Chains A and B, each alone.
Chain A
Amino acid sequence: MSLAVLLSTMRVQMKQSFARSMFRFCLIANPILNTILLYEMYRSSGEENFMAYVVLGAGLMGLWSCICFSSAGDINRERYSGTLALIFAAPASFPAIILGKIIGNTLMSLLTLGISLVTAVVLYQIPLTLNSPLYFLLALAAAILTFVVISSVIACLLTLSRKTELYMNCIEIPIILLCGFVFPVSVLPGAVQVLSRALSPTYAVELLRMAVWGVEDPMMFWQKLGILLGITVLYAVLSALLYCKIDRRVRIAATLEVA
């Protein structure tokens, strides 16, 4: 995997994404609006540290939207602009190109967390506490890793189909709900929680929230981190297998371009 390919793709992706007004909306306006919405919802809930559900929730919602509509949507944009076939047939490895796009997008999308934080501080002057900053950084790094890997699986699957827009709209809200971005997963029905537990962002969100509240039981933190990394590795293996398959499949199914 060439580093030059990865870095140049990240650079191109960031330039391209930021030039799109929809991406700028997801990146900047979305976290501001979500922060306002969540603050109003949580204001009378008894929760005192708004960092856990308001700032983190709004930031993660924005991050996920950016990932859905960019990392996933980019496949479709590339398809319609006729560049998907070009990058696919280039000598550089296709997974490396897709990975570069995803890392570029994800890193840029992290801005949503900062915007959400600034919104909460400026608009509401609400008490925000981060009790275990080192654990938070660790949880954030793990969250970034898992989002990159999930995006890679999604991008791979969407290369196979031309119904990309439909699918990316279908996954945005369910993941926010299932993974407990804005409320604890424990409020969901038991059967649904089984699904939540199979999704790595659930653990990433719980770890981030634990760090915000303060990690009182480090063993539990490490245990959850282990589960998160384990599931992420499984997703990564699935992604690698899928990329081996799609190289043949897309050329048989003729989904690289629109007719």
Chain B
Amino acid sequence: METVIEVKNLRREYVTRRGIWKREKRVVKAVDGISFAVRRGEIFGLLGQNGAGKTTTIKMLTTLLAPTEGTCKVLGWNTFGEEKRIRARINFIFGGELGIYRRLSAWDNLRYFSNLYLIPRREQDAHIQKILELVDLAERADDLAETYSKGMLQRLQIARGLINDPEILFMDEPTVGLDPVGARMLRDIIRRLKEQGKTVLVTTHNLAEVEELCDRLVIINKGKVVARGTPAEIKGGAETLEDAYVKLIEGVNV
């Protein structure tokens, strides 16, 4: 099966400087030589503790951040330097309530992002309506987003992420703060995307979700890959995936 995401020895360092006269340079290695590949149509999990490097990795994959070193390719193109070939074919959803124009309605938000994704005007209305129904926001479509609950804002984020019918959808902790109904709805959407042949790369702390959804995953800790495989392979002899995960992370941190 075709590889759509290729990451090889990927590194990303953040450089900060402190002080006024004698500037002290501090380098933080957020991602430290990770490698993995994702095949078309897979649901791929990226797991790790807070600060493990998951979000940095997703940002490099979604063309938002330049790698310091290594290969970072999406759909065969480098995410830094060839990003124009990628952007119309992918989308991303970052968890939480950000990434929405709160003083616009859901409809206006989606209309605007349709324009930014260069979707022809004649296709916009039907597509926006379909997505709003999918995330169960059709009835509140004309209300300002600032009047929405946290869960509704996240559902609007999901709708925005689907606006260009992406081949690959990157999701960074998409269920954070979602109520159980909203989280289930999201899982259903992810499954439906897989049925349509889409690829989904998801980061989450919810290991039951990983077990339920992911075909394969990698676990990263302190910027390095510490385990990879299917959920069953990672679980091994442990009772739950959570037990296996904790053991892996503790083993590395000792």
CB under 8 Å from chain A, chain B span 82-118: 83-84, 87-88, 92, 94, 96, 98-104, 108, 111-113, 115-118
A90 CB contacts on chain B under 8 angstroms: 87, 113, 116-117
A8 CB contacts on chain B under 8 angstroms: 111-112, 115-116
B160 CB contacts on chain A under 8 angstroms: 86
> Roughly how many angstroms separate A107 CA and B121 CA in the complex, as a whole number?
25
Q: Is the CB of A256 within 8 A of B118?
A: no
Q: Which residue of B lies closest to A85 (CB)?
A: B64
> Roughly how many angstroms separate A91 CA and B88 CA in the complex, as a whole number?
5
Q: Which residue of A lies closest to B116 (CB)?
A: A90
How many A-B pairs have beta carbons closer than 8 Å: the answer is: 83
> Roughly how many angstroms separate A113 CA and B94 CA in the complex, as a whole number?
42
Q: Is the CB of B87 within 8 A of A83?
A: no
A87 CB contacts on chain B under 8 angstroms: 116
Q: Is the CB of B113 within 8 A of A12?
A: no
Q: Which residue of B lies closest to A2 (CB)?
A: B118
Q: Which residue of B lies closest to A256 (CB)?
A: B64
A19 CB contacts on chain B under 8 angstroms: 103
A15 CB contacts on chain B under 8 angstroms: 103-104, 108
Q: How far is the CB of B174 from chain A (nearest CB, A)?
A: 14
Indicate if B62 sits at the interface (CB-CB under 8 A): yes
Indicate if A187 sits at the interface (CB-CB under 8 A): no
CB under 8 Å from chain A, chain B span 48-62: 59, 62
> Roughly how many angstroms separate A254 CA and B12 CA in the complex, as a whole number?
11
B203 CB contacts on chain A under 8 angstroms: none
A: number of interface residues (CB 8 Å): 28
Indicate if B63 sits at the interface (CB-CB under 8 A): yes
- Would you give the 0/1 interface string for A29-45, flagging 1 where the beta carbon is closer than 8 Å to chain B? 00000000000000000
Q: How far is the CB of A149 from chain B (nearest CB, A)?
A: 23
> Roughly how many angstroms separate A229 CA and B149 CA in the complex, as a whole number?
49
B164 CB contacts on chain A under 8 angstroms: 91
- Would you give the 0/1 interface string for A48-85, flagging 1 where the beta carbon is closer than 8 Å to chain B? 00000000000000000000000000000000011101
> Roughly how many angstroms separate A248 CA and B79 CA in the complex, as a whole number?
11
> Roughly how many angstroms separate A9 CA and B101 CA in the complex, as a whole number?
12
A86 CB contacts on chain B under 8 angstroms: 99, 113, 160
Indicate if B65 sits at the interface (CB-CB under 8 A): yes
Q: Is the CB of B118 within 8 A of A89?
A: no
Partner of A82, one of B80, B94, B116, B121: B94
